[in-house]
């Protein structure tokens, strides 16, 4: 079977648990849940061979769910030799059905599909289901069911509609569950995952923030040696954490470049340079480029065109300034693990886990850097999820104002001004946005909200101030709650807080006479307006 590895481990730490991805939307979530037990996990393609897994020697393997039916032609199948590796395997949903089908059982279309929450009735409260409460809620999402179990398998649990909701072959340490223990809706899901990781696989909880930092620093020093490293610093959580980590590893060999394109929030460029350069003595080259960027957007109103123009200008500025400040041997990037999974097969050597060609990550979604820069990449965060990056940042000493800050788009306020962008509109939006963030923070709600910001619309409406007619811009408040930004719901802010924000904006921000609140979820809307 040809190797088609979704991700391969870099030199150093090997995964204790491997998740084989069969196309589930929850594969990354399974990896995150395993890591919450302080055990290192990686997602790999379902086509990973038994030989590759034998070389990795994980303590356990988890088969993800997926949208296919195992009895259909062309359904994704694993290497059949996996079943004879002697490594414990947990099949989740499709993974369980695949286990049953390949080992001699049968799977058919269910007479009644099962989606959403369902009580789980435990028939065998030992082993995989230790401490899983009888009648606990589990999240179902399947239209197929097991008709007959393979030889040696027994039932562990059932639901009202699914006789074989959890099964096992205890002698071979093979387990399957028809539900999704990794989602938050499964009340005892983490108990089941701990049982598999700790008791069945015998894993040791050694994937901690402190151990990651020690390993990452050692890896960076070994890779870089005495060479110089350049980092494009945006002030976001990822690049800020990376700056602190690299500075701890290589000190003055690191140069950070901050390009002020004029679309940051009020006071942020000055704050970032003062924070990194003066407070923590991390070398930051401040590139003043506001007029270059704003001049390129004259007459442009289409949001995608704005993004492309900003991205292209960023490339030009970065290229010129890197040559002026260089030479540099390495470019540091805040690539995270979801980025690695998403780009699977396009630049990962399945044997080494290293990039086979220089592929520069888009700078905060505003465009990639040219390949002819010929940097070698330093990506010490590429095995982390976003929540793990925040933990690393806190451990390294980043203050909460950096680590806990809300996401901010790369094109910045340029895509929070609908239509054409100019300096006057930027000033209006900066003032309004600052009020939104100040009052949400003063109310103690900042960390309960995924994002809270202002949007400026390219229309005007009639108002009255001081007995005089006004004709001014409206400001849209956009406050959403989310876990990962993939879906979001509008935040139910207290009326008193909304009133305070509205009053401050119309009284303190010139050119604004109306404030409205966006109560659209994602989907159907998006978090950003452009």
Q: Is residue 203 flagged as an active site residue?
A: no
Which residue among 28, 52, 93, 188 is the active-site one?
93
Which helix or strand (DSSP H or E) is residue 470 part of? strand 468-481
Q: Is residue 180 flagged as an active site residue?
A: yes
How many Å apart are CA 85 and CA 48, to the nearest integer? 13
- Residue 47: both structure tokens together: 């086509």
How many Å apart are CA 476 and CA 432, to the nearest integer? 10
| Nearest CA-CA partner of 83 in 165, 161, 13, 175 | 175
CB-based contacts of 222, cutoff 8 Å, min separation 6? none
How many Å apart are CA 35 and CA 112, to the nearest integer? 34
How many Å apart are CA 21 and CA 5, to the nearest integer? 10
11 burial type by CB count under 10 A (0-12 exposed, 13-18 middle, 19+ buried): exposed
Number of C-beta neighbours around residue 40 at 10 A: 22
SS3 244: helix
Which residue among 114, 182, 379, 439 is the active-site one?
182
Which residue among 180, 247, 363, 364 is the active-site one?
180
Strands, E, within 22-77: which ranges? 41-45, 60-63
Phi and psi at residue 432, in whole multiples of 5°? -70, -40
Q: What secondary structure letter does DSSP report for 18?
A: E
CB-based contacts of 371, cutoff 8 Å, min separation 6? 357, 358, 359, 360
Which residue do the tokens 């059949």 mark?
A: 80
- Residue 436: both structure tokens together: 């939104």
Q: What secondary structure letter does DSSP report for 279?
A: I
Cβ(105)–Cβ(150) below 8 Å: yes
How many Å apart are CA 36 and CA 51, to the nearest integer? 28
Tell me if the bond preceding 197 is cis, omega within 30° of 0. Answer: no
Intra-chain end-to-end CA distance of the chain, in Å:
44
- Residue 62: both structure tokens together: 């988890």
Cα torsion 313, 316, 320, 322: sign: positive
| Nearest CA-CA partner of 52 in 124, 88, 86, 4 | 4
Q: What secondary structure letter does DSSP report for 453?
A: E
SS3 187: coil
SS3 290: helix
How many Å apart are CA 8 and CA 350, to the nearest integer? 5
Phi and psi at residue 335, in whole multiples of 5°? -60, 130
Catalytic site positions:
93, 180, 182
């Amino acid at each position: 079977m040809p190797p088609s590895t979704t991700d391969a481990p870099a030199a150093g730490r090997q995964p204790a648990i491997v998740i084989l991805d069969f196309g589930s939307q929850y594969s990354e979530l399974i990896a995150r849940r395993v890591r919450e037990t302080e055990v290192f996990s990686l997602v790999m393609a379902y086509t990973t061979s038994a030989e590759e897994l034998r070389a990795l020697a994980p303590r356990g393997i988890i088969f993800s769910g997926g949208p296919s039916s195992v009895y259909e032609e062309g359904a994704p199948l694993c290497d059949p030799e996996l079943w004879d590796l002697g490594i414990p395997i947990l099949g989740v949903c499709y993974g369980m059905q695949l286990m049953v089908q390949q080992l001699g059982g049968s799977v058919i279309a269910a007479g009644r599909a099962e989606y959403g929450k369902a009580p789980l009735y435990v028939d065998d409260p030992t082993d995989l289901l230790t401490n899983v409460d009888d009648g606990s809620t589990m999240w179902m999402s399947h239209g197929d069911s097991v008709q007959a179990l393979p030889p040696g398998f027994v039932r562990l649990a059932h639901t009202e509609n699914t006789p074989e909701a959890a099964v096992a072959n205890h002698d071979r340490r093979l387990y399957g569950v028809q539900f999704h223990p990794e989602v938050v809706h499964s009340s005892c899901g983490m108990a089941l995952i701990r049982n598999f990781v700790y008791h069945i696989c015998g894993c040791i909880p050694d994937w901690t923030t402190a151990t990651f930092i020690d390993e990452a620093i050692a890896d960076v020093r070994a890779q870089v040696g005495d060479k110089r490293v350049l980092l494009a610093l945006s002030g976001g959580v990822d690049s800020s954490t990376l700056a602190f980590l690299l500075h701890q590893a290589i000190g003055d060999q690191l140069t950070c470049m901050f390009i002020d394109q004029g679309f940051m929030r009020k006071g942020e460029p000055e704050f970032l340079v003062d924070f990194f350069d003066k407070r923590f003595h991390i070398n930051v080259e401040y590139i003043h480029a506001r007029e270059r960027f704003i001049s390129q957007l004259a007459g442009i109103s289409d949001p995608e065109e704005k993004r492309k123009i900003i991205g292209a200008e960023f490339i030009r500025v970065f290229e010129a300034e890197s040559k002026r400040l260089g030479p540099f041997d390495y470019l540091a990037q805040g690539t995270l693990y979801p980025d690695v999974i998403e780009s699977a097969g396009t630049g990962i050597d399945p044997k080494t886990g290293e990039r086979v060609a220089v592929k520069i990550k888009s700078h905060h979604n505003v465009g990639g850097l040219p390949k002819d820069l010929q940097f070698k990449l330093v990506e010490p965060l590429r095995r982390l999820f976003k929540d793990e990056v925040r933990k690393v940042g806190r451990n390294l000493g980043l203050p909460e104002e950096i680590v806990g800050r809300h996401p901010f788009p790369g094109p910045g306020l340029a895509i929070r001004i609908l239509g054409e962008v100019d300096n006057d509109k930027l000033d209006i939006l900066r003032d309004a946005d600052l009020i939104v963030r100040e009052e949400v923070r003063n109310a103690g709600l900042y960390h309960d909200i995924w994002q809270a910001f202002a949007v400026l619309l390219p229309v005007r409406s009639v108002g009255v101030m001081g007995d005089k007619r006004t004709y001014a811009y409206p400001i849209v408040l956009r406050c959403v709650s989310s876990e990962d930004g993939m879906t979001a719901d509008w935040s139910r802010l207290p009326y008193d807080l909304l009133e305070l924000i509205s009053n401050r904006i119309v009284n303190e921000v010139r050119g604004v006479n109306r404030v409205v609140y966006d109560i659209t979820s994602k989907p159907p809307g998006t978090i950003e307006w452009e």
